């Protein structure tokens, strides 16, 4: 087994939900402690609250992964009479590192908003509000015929050649490569000072811009030539959009009252607020955005949503939604706690793949601040 450090975990995680996907001024990343120390027990939580820290201490956790950053506002002092400051002191005293992934996890593929959409049963989902557009590159590399499969597989494994729902996509063109090795060269084909020609193929693939360094490293590692020849082009007509929220369709339309009961049951809430007077209307197309998504309601309207699920709807925004005729369901911000199960499952899978000696624990503490009186 391999000893896992915070640095190694963060490096792996940030290939899944890169920091550049986060919204501006979102205080994501390492918040408390050090990433250099070993991680033997990790707690996965929605929020870092005093009760969460108490749980972590009891379970002898040394790393907390949280969705919500533990420090949204700068502390004005370090007086431990304040329970919030005492919480930070307890974390430091017990050498507990805290790392958070907030809006980058919301935006990431197979991240927070996809988990919410899946829980509701949405199909044919798409991004509700685009927030980041990534350019794509085309890689063309010249390889000896005898080495083409080795190089092609290395490029695919590094993340090249993915188009929509297809993987291992490439194009191959045969040709003849010519070169003359010079003094100091150590050619795998031919001799120094003598012109050489080799049957080669040109392999072409596309790849997202952020994967270029990794793919080029893999290319150089797998290529038999001392100096591989390759081209990189920017593709203007192919880009990938990331964003907050998802919109999709229910398998079958359902009456609004039935839909409300479904939302209440799926997210295990004691109550929810809603906007909409046509209580007998049918719901089929649904938008969902975890957290405070009130300002994005116009995108739900533009994309034909019959209902919009989000939390923390502001009073005056609710009036605007009502005037616009949008049906809105507010089950609260805490529904994002749904992330604990898929994150625990994902991190456990990584631990198995990388042979990390670590235990992943979902928090058992509820950080929902609201209670409902009936």
Domain annotation covers residue 283: yes
What is the model's pLDDT at position 128?
98
Report the distance separating Cα 45 and Cα 68, nearest Å. 9
**Could you tell me the pTM of the whole model?**
0.87
What is the model's pLDDT at position 304?
97
The tally of domains found in the chain comes to: 3
What is the model's pLDDT at position 181?
87
What is the model's pLDDT at position 192?
86
3 state DSSP class of 297:
helix
Helices (H) and strands (E) in the chain, counts: 11, 13
Domain annotation covers residue 113: yes
**Same domain as 235, residue 138:** yes
Q: Supply the range of the domain harboring residue 284.
A: 107-130+243-335
Task: Count the neighbouring beta carbons within 10 Å of the beta carbon of residue 220.
Answer: 14
Domain annotation covers residue 373: no
What is the model's pLDDT at position 136?
95
What is the model's pLDDT at position 164?
83
Per-residue pLDDT tens digits for 270-318? 999 999 877 678 999 999 999 999 999 999 999 999 999 999 999 999 9
Contact call for residues 203 and 177 (beta carbons, < 8 A): no
What is the model's pLDDT at position 27?
95
| Element holding 302 (H helix, E strand) | helix 297-302
Q: In what order do the strands lie in the sheet with 63-66?
A: 29-32, 97-100, 63-66, 41-45, 359-362
Sign of the alpha-carbon torsion through 161, 167, 168, 171: negative
Any idea how long the chain is?
Answer: 374
Domain annotation covers residue 368: no
Which residues have CB under 8 Å from 373's CB, separation 6+?
none
Task: Count the neighbouring beta carbons within 10 Å of the beta carbon of residue 365.
Answer: 18
Domain annotation covers residue 369: no
**Domain termination site, one of 240, 264, 283:** 240
**Same domain as 53, residue 201:** no
**Same domain as 118, residue 261:** yes
**Domain termination site, one of 176, 209, 240:** 240
**Same domain as 196, residue 269:** no
- Tokens, residue 21: 């996907």
Positions of the chain with pLDDT under 50: none
Q: Could you give the angle at which helices 148-157 and 212-222 cross, rounded to 10 degrees? A: 150
Domain annotation covers residue 356: yes
**Same domain as 143, residue 96:** no
Contact call for residues 216 and 159 (beta carbons, < 8 A): no
**Same domain as 139, residue 233:** yes
**Same domain as 323, residue 227:** no
**Same domain as 314, residue 251:** yes
Domain annotation covers residue 184: yes
Domain annotation covers residue 1: no
CATH of the domain at 193: 3.30.70.120
């Amino acid at each position: 087994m391999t000893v896992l450090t915070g640095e190694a975990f963060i490096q792996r995680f940030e290939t899944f939900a890169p920091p550049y996907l986060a919204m501006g001024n979102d205080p994501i990343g390492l918040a408390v402690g050090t990433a250099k120390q070993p991680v033997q027990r990790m707690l996965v939580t929605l929020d870092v609250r005093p009760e969460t820290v108490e749980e972590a201490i009891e379970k002898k956790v040394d790393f907390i992964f949280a969705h919500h950053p533990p420090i949204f506002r700068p502390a004005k002092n370090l007086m431990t009479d304040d329970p919030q400051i005492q919480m930070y002191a307890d974390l430091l005293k017990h050498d507990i590192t805290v790392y958070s992934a907030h809006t980058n996890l919301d935006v990431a593929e197979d991240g927070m908003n996809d988990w919410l959409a899946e829980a509701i049963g949405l199909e044919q989902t798409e991004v509700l509000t685009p927030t980041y557009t990534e350019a794509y590159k085309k890689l063309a590399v010249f390889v000896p015929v005898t080495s083409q499969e080795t190089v092609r597989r290395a490029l695919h494994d590094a993340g090249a050649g993915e188009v929509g729902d297809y993987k291992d996509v490439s194009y191959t063109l045969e040709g003849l490569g010519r070169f003359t090795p010079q003094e100091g060269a150590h050619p795998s084909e031919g001799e120094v000072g003598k012109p050489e020609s080799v049957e080669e193929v040109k392999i072409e693939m596309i790849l997202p811009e952020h994967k270029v360094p990794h793919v080029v490293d893999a290319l150089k590692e797998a290529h038999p030539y001392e100096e591989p020849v390759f081209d990189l082009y920017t593709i203007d007509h192919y880009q990938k959009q990331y964003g907050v929220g998802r919109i999709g369709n229910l398998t079958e339309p359902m009456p609004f009252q039935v839909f409300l009961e479904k939302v209440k049951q799926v997210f295990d809430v004691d109550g929810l607020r809603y906007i909409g007077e046509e209580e007998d209307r049918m719901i089929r197309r649904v938008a969902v955005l975890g957290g405070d998504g009130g300002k994005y309601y116009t995108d739900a309207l533009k994309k034909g949503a019959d209902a919009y699920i989000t939390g923390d709807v502001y009073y005056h925004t609710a009036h605007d939604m009502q005037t616009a005729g949008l049906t809105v369901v507010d089950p609260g911000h805490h529904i994002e706690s749904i992330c604990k199960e898929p994150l625990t499952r994902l991190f456990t899978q990584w631990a198995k793949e990388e042979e990390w000696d670590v235990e992943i624990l979902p928090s058992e503490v509820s950080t929902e601040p609201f209670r409902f009186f009936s």
